[in-house]
Amino acid sequence: MAQLANIPIRIEQPEAEPQQFGNALPILNEIRHALARFAESAEPTRIDLAAMPFGPGDEEHLMALLGRGEVEATIDALGPTRVWETRFPGVWVLDYANVEGERIALQIEVDEIPQMLRTQRADITDSLTALDAALASATAADPAAESRH
Amino acid sequence: MATSKTLGESLRQHGVSRRGFLKFCAATASMMALPPSMAPAIAQALEKARRPSVIWLSFQECTGCTESLTRSFSPTVENLIFDVISLDYHHTLQAAAGDAAEHAREQAMNSNAGEYLVVVDGSLPGPKANPGYSTIAGISNYDMLMDTIDGAAAVVAVGTCAAFGGLPKADPNPTGAVSVQDLVKDKPVINVSGCPPVPMVITGVLAQFLTFGTIPELDEYGRPRAFFGQSIHDRCYRRPFYDKGKFAESFDDEGAKAGWCLYRLGCKGPMTYNACATMKWNGGASWPVEAGYPCLGCSEPDFWDAGGFYKALSVPTGSPGDVLLTAGAVGAAVGVGAGLMSRNQGKQAAKHHDKVTADQLEEKL
Ligand code: SF4
Ligand code: SF4
């Protein structure tokens, strides 16, 4: 086992710039086009980053360029989806993970608010029914409710 | 049991919320290599989709394809699809065996006649070969395939063995192995090649059939263009180095450490059509070239017989001529240099754990 120590190990400088393969800037350009389109005609765009030929470091570089903005949210459905607005308002990142926390998709969405964050109409209808039921049972259980009628 | 509920209903029964369903559709679009703008169309189609019955036949194979599929991180969107599609027969995954299993297959065929999907992994001894090389429950692979596809809507050949013959068909092909498309002529055959295929590609193709009920657009080898439409080389993140003529010459030189192109180390990326460069492996963690290893060309016909894994492609494709001339010249010089190194020196190098060149590696194999 003494020989194990002979295997040379090279430690990257932690402060060194991450390695880059130049695939972040074209995406940033695509985002710019999408943002211009939204500014002009309010047409939203979604970009699937899984379809991009990223090398190690490219995604980090893109994310560093986009930065973080004011809004951050987590959606708990089929595992967590982390959503944040970048430092460019209207440019959102959606990081979809499964219940084990492994990423299943990564998207950029250019919109006022990402589709996933909006409450769907059908859910609002269901919600009304659920709230009615909750109200009915709460009223039935409340002794003071009778006198208020 | 198969076709009673729609997929939307099944998902909701599994406790999937509408936001969860949106997420499912976003991930499915990504998996099908469709633009994210297709997610609403997928959602609509999935709400109405009936669960198709799937019969999975495994012939002369190593189970690598099924491993690829089931070892994909779980529980995932793919698994969800498998929970809701009805996998009525799969040799490896089902508990039943022998007559009971065959009975399940026949029942699935009868009750879903004309609509079920047959998935095949592995090649099989052709009609003129000795059927004894591969049988299941006493039935030859050939008879089982022909019998099963009779009422099928389509056949999906999963893996390079099923698609092109693969390892069993490699020279000298002792079992007379043939591919599925060699035998199935009157049904659509979708080839999902790869050794094994990227799991997301397998499920992406199945999801497409499940969602839209259609056969995807195929290339000249019968592979879905959405996944096999571009070469590894065209989507490789190391491509800028190739274009600049910067090549790693051994697995541990400075070029290799700097992440240069692996062409000189035998990368078959320029002639290989597959989705590895974008979809990657192990849940998107990495892929062979990113790990510093050349593409072997595993999704192409006859890749086992296509020369050494570490031999550079002789006719480079799709790149500027002047760059290639330089690359070729450098390559020739290195080849001569490596050739001059004596066997004895090679042995000594091994003893002292010194560097080994790609050519030496090739020599040893
Ligand atoms: S030859 Fe291989 S490593 Fe080089 S750019 Fe093409 S696919 Fe990438
Ligand atoms: S990189 Fe090449 S050899 Fe490796 S899995 Fe992908 S297509 Fe097959």
Mean pLDDT value of segment B174-184: 96
Q: What is the CATH number of the domain that holds B182?
A: 3.40.50.700
Determine the 3-state secondary structure of B362 from DSSP: helix
* Protein residues whose CB sits closer than 6 Å to any atom of ligand 2: B 194, 232, 272, 274, 276, 287-288, 295-299
Using a CB-CB cut-off of 8 Å, the residues of chain A touching B292 are: none
Same domain, B204 and B325: no
pLDDT of residue A93: 97
- Picking from B39, B73, B238, the nearest residue to A55 by CB comes out as B238
Point out the least confidently predicted range of B45-54, B56-65, B103-112.
B45-54
Q: What is the pTM of this model?
A: 0.76
Distance, CA B295 to ligand 2 centroid (Å)?
Answer: 5
State which of B222, B249, B276 marks the end of a domain: B222
Same domain, B318 and B253: yes
Mean pLDDT value of segment B121-128: 94
pLDDT of residue B144: 94
Distance, CA B106 to ligand 2 centroid (Å)?
Answer: 36
- ipTM value for the complex: 0.75
B248 within 8 A of B264, measured Cβ to Cβ: yes
Does any domain span residue B102? yes
pLDDT for A40-95, tens place per residue?
A: 999 999 998 877 888 888 889 999 999 999 999 999 988 899 999 999 999 999 99
Q: Say whether residue A107 is in contact with chain B using an 8 A CB cutoff.
A: yes
Does any domain span residue B71? yes
pLDDT of residue A11: 55
Which residue range is the domain that position B314 belongs to?
239-364
Over 60: is that where the pLDDT of B322 sits? no
Same domain, B208 and B339: no
User: CA separation (Å) from B4 to A109, B49, B51?
Assistant: 36, 11, 7
CATH superfamily, with its number, for domain A25-114: HupH hydrogenase expression protein, C-terminal domain (3.30.1370.140)
Contact call for B18 and A122, based on CB within 8 A: yes
Q: Say whether residue A120 is in contact with chain B using an 8 A CB cutoff.
A: yes
Q: Which residues have C-beta within 8 Å of that of residue B164, sequence separation ≥ 6?
A: B179, B191, B193, B221, B300, B301, B302
Same domain, B194 and B245: no
Q: Say whether residue A26 is in contact with chain B using an 8 A CB cutoff.
A: no
B358, containing H or E segment: helix B358-364
pLDDT for B233-270, tens place per residue?
A: 999 999 999 999 999 999 999 999 999 999 999 999 99
Over 70: is that where the pLDDT of B73 sits? no
Same domain, B120 and B245: no
- The residue with tokens 């590895």 is B276
State which of B196, B222, B248 marks the end of a domain: B222
Using a CB-CB cut-off of 8 Å, the residues of chain B touching A50 are: 30, 278-279, 284
Q: Say whether residue A27 is in contact with chain B using an 8 A CB cutoff.
A: no
Same domain, B171 and B264: no
Q: Report d(CA A127, CA B219) in Å as an integer.
A: 48
The residue whose CA has the least distance to atom 3 of ligand 2 is B296
pLDDT of residue A4: 62
Categorize the per-residue pLDDT at A14 as very low, low, confident or very high, splitting at 50, 70 and 90: very low
Chain B: residue nearest A45 by CA? B37
Q: Give the residue, B97 or A20, on which the prediction is more confident.
A: B97
